[in-house]
Structure formats: C-alpha cells, structure tokens
C-alpha cells in the first residue's frame, strides 16, 4: 500500500509522494486501429464514430463559415459531448490555512502517468453510472451537501477547436473546518502556495484543476484584483462588455454539423482519421488498462494534436496595474460566436509553409521575446481523457512598445482581476485563457 499522507509541509514532500505513486501505478495505454476499437464503430452512412451505447461522446464533422478567422470556410472533425460533467474542488482550512483536495490521476492521454486532477472530475455518464463502474468518490459534496459553502459555480466551455459547444460545471466548494472528510487512496490536500509551486513544473497540474482554480474568488495579490477591481483598469467593465457585445453582435458564425465522412481534406486510414497534410490533429484509438479508476479497462477514441501549442498573454503595466491583452476568438465549437481568449493561442506547426499574413497576430512577438521579458514559460497538458499528448507552452510575456494600447477591434487590454470577474458569468472566457489566468495568479513570478 501507499503511505496515507494527506498533507505536506513542503512541496518537496509532495513531490516524493507523487514520484512514488507514479513509480508504482500500473496502467497500460495501447494504440489500436480505430476500426478495431472495442465498443466503438463508424456509422456506415455518416462515418461518425460512436459508442455502441450512444453515450460518452461522438466524433462528427462540422462546417464553419465566419469572417472572424484567417480562413473563411472550413470543415473539420469535432467531438460532440452534449452533457455537462462536474469538475469540482473541495476546500477546507487546516490550522487556518486553506487546502485543496486533489487527486493523482492517470488519464490515457497524459504524456506522463499521473497528473493532479480536481477532487471530482466526472462526466454525467460517469456519475449516472452508464459504464457500470464504481461510484465517483466525493461526488456527494457537489450535489446537495448540507454544510458546504459554494465559492464558485459556473458552466465553462472547453477547447473550442476540438469540442462542439462542450462545457463542464466548474465548482469550488468549501467545507467547515470541523467537517471530517474521509481519506481516500490517491487524494491529498495541497495549499495554494504548493499548487503555485507545482504550476511552475511541466505537466503536473492537469487542465481540469487549472480551469476550476481560475474561479477562486480570493485572495488575489493586490496588483491583480481585489474587491471593486472590476472598473480599475484601462477600461471600465461597461466598456469591456460593450467591446465584447460589439464583437458578437454581427453573429458572424454559421455552423452546421455534417457527417464525419463529408469533412474535406481529411481521410480515414482504417487506423486513424487524419488531416491529409498532417496538420491540426488526428483521431486515434486506444485500449486502456489501469488501476485506481472506476472501470479497470476500456477503449476509446482520442484526439491527438499535430504539435505542441502556444498559449500566451502579452502583459503590460498601465496606470500602475498589470494588464493582459485579451483576444475575442471564434472557434469551430464556440457556443456563442466568440469568447475571450489569450493574446495568442495556436499550434505554430499548423502555419508552417503558410503565407506570412495567415500567421496569428502577436505569435512572433511572443516567440521572439527577449528572455528577460518572459514572466513564465511552462508546459501543461490539456485534458488527458480526450486528448492524447496534447501539450501547450503556457507563457506570459512583458510586451515591448511595439504592442499598441489600442490593439485593434479583436484585442483589448484588461486586468487579470477584470478577466477573473468576467469568468464568473459563463460563456465569457475560454478554457485556454482561464488556465493561463490560473498560472498568472498562482505561479510564483519573477516580479512578485
């Protein structure tokens, strides 16, 4: 058995515990041709990939027409998962210090073995027991607990390039200090400071934990927010909302779900579904065996990106406050025209060999930044339950004078506190921006 340590004096103690778990965790992820994936099949008419139960998710096609992207019209595969699951983090004070209950969890797409996931990370199929597995631990605290205090609770979107309007319920729930939480294998309590330490390391804090923590209402460092911060920035909240309304009002996103077989420029090799030039991503199949999961073995399709992405904020001090440059971004799966995104969010390899004018704005500013201007530069993974080895460089870069204060109609400067305030209201801030905000907030930075 593993030692049942639930709190750590030092981050290094956690790292020992985590290394030990990684060493002893038994699991196997085996690539399998899509055509041979147990329980999954391509619909003979549409080519759509689906599970025999009709549950979990499907891979279908989508056609996009919009004037809001480099390309006006395209088709692509997309994951359709209409259910909203729960991503929930339990919070409790020990000796006056707030701790967060996280789980060292294996996901088949993780590039390493384990990453720290929220207390609960469950699709609706999970917690309504479609797969006949075990109950989801700690789920009861997020359903109708009598003594909890909800600190954050919003429906939040996930990767719009890969998911069709998907969202999950992000929750942070606080228990009173005298409430006993039964210990469970693989879970531990970490402080905010410890999580900040871990965010500086590659691929330890998983996507679901990062998105949930972006909703934590307090405490922000003084320069990043605080009560009443919503109008303290280059623009008032009313101006920011007006900018966002202006982006969305033309409703310039026309989207149609199409059969996967009709997606152009992509091909089903039998093994996998791939882009003909090797760009964007592939859909692959895997068999999974693992302990410590509700189900011990299963098979599933996964989306494997073609390269490592870049998710970056340009930042700048304006009137004594740090600001970040936010982009109103439309993606294939955007639920409502556009969401607020990082300054840059792309996979640079997708633009290899493309004309200069198609390169995403500010990408080269970020990639060529002098090291002295880089606040952080760390690799994190996207959700290992759907995405295979999907890594992104998360960066914050101090902008130089070449980046204007009025950066065009699709970019606007706001404070991290304003962005944090907006994300309470769902449908406003995309997952990449939320996760980058978590890094900006909790990661120990050079200038703090």
Q: How far is the CB of 142 from its own copies (least distance, A)?
A: 10
Q: How far is the CB of 425 from its own copies (least distance, A)?
A: 4
Provide the 10 A C-beta neighbour count for residue 391.
17
**Which is nearer to its own copies, 15 or 84 (by Cβ)?**
84
Q: Is the dihedral of CA 223, 228, 230, 231 positive or negative?
A: negative
Q: How far is the CB of 85 from its own copies (least distance, A)?
A: 9
Is residue 162 within 8 A of residue 333, CB to CB? The reply is yes
Identify the three-state secondary structure at position 14. Answer: helix
Instruction: Check residue 56 and report its DSSP letter.
Output: S
Q: How far is the CB of 128 from its own copies (least distance, A)?
A: 10
Q: How far is the CB of 190 from its own copies (least distance, A)?
A: 23
Q: What's the number of CA atoms in the CB half-sphere (13 Å) around residue 218?
A: 7
**Which is nearer to its own copies, 83 or 287 (by Cβ)?**
83
Is residue 325 within 8 A of residue 412, CB to CB? The reply is yes
Provide the 10 A C-beta neighbour count for residue 232.
16
Q: State which H helix or E strand residue 151 sits in.
A: strand 149-157
Enumerate binding residues for its own copies (CB under 8 A).
Answer: 82-84, 86, 124, 150-155, 169, 171, 217, 228, 237-239, 241-242, 245-246, 248-251, 335-336, 424-428
**Which is nearer to its own copies, 88 or 305 (by Cβ)?**
88
**First-to-last CA distance in the chain?**
41
Pick from 214, 121, 207: nearest CA to 424: 214
Is residue 255 within 8 A of residue 264, CB to CB? The reply is no
**Which is nearer to its own copies, 317 or 425 (by Cβ)?**
425
Cα–Cα distance, 199 to 150 (Å, whole number) = 24
**Which is nearer to its own copies, 316 or 335 (by Cβ)?**
335
Q: How far is the CB of 147 from its own copies (least distance, A)?
A: 15
Q: How far is the CB of 193 from its own copies (least distance, A)?
A: 24
Helix boundaries (H) for 151-206: 192-199
């Amino acid at each position: 058995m593993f030692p049942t340590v639930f709190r750590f004096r030092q981050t290094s103690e956690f790292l020992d515990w985590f290394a030990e778990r990684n060493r002893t965790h038994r699991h196997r992820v085996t690539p399998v041709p899509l055509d041979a994936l147990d329980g999954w099949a391509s619909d003979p008419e549409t080519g759509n990939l689906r599970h025999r139960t009709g549950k979990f998710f499907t891979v279908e096609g989508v056609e996009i027409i919009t004037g809001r992207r480099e390309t006006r019209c395209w088709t692509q595969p997309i994951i359709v998962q209409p259910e909203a699951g729960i991503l929930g983090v339990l919070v409790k004070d020990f000796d006056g210090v707030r701790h967060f209950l996280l789980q060292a969890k294996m996901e088949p797409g993780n590039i390493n073995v384990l990453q720290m996931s929220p207390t609960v990370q469950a699709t609706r199929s999970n917690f309504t027991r479609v797969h006949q597995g075990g109950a989801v631990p700690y789920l009861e605290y997020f359903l109708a607990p009598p003594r909890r205090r909800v600190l954050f609770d919003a429906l939040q979107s996930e990767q719009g390039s890969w998911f069709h309007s998907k969202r999950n319920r992000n929750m942070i729930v606080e228990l009173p200090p005298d409430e006993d939480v039964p210990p469970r294998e693989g879970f531990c309590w970490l402080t905010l400071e410890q999580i900040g330490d871990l965010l500086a390391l590659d691929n330890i804090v998983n996507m679901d934990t990062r998105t949930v923590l972006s909703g934590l209402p307090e405490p922000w460092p003084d320069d990043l927010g605080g009560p009443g911060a919503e109008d303290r920035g280059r623009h008032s909240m009313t101006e920011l909302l007006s900018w966002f309304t202006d982006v969305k009002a033309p409703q310039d996103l026309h989207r149609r779900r199409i059969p996967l077989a009709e997606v152009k420029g992509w091909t089903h090799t039998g093994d996998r579904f791939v882009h003909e030039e090797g760009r964007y991503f592939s859909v692959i199949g895997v068999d999974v065996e693992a302990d410590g999961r509700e189900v011990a073995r299963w098979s599933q399709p996964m989306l494997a990106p073609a390269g490592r992405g870049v998710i970056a904020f340009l930042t700048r001090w304006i009137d004594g406050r740090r600001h970040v440059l936010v982009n109103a971004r439309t993606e294939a799966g955007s639920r409502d025209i556009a969401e607020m995104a990082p300054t840059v969010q792309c996979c640079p390899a997708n633009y290899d060999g493309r004309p200069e004018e198609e390169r995403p704005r500010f990408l080269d500013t970020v990639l060529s930044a002098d090291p002295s201007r880089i606040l952080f530069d760390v690799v994190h993974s996207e959700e290992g339950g759907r995405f295979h080895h999907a890594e992104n460089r998360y960066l914050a870069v101090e902008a130089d004078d070449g980046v204007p204060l009025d950066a065009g109609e699709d970019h606007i400067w706001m404070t991290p506190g304003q962005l944090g305030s907006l994300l309470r209201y769902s449908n406003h801030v995309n997952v990449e921006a939320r996760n980058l905000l978590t890094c900006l907030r909790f990661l120990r930075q050079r200038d703090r």
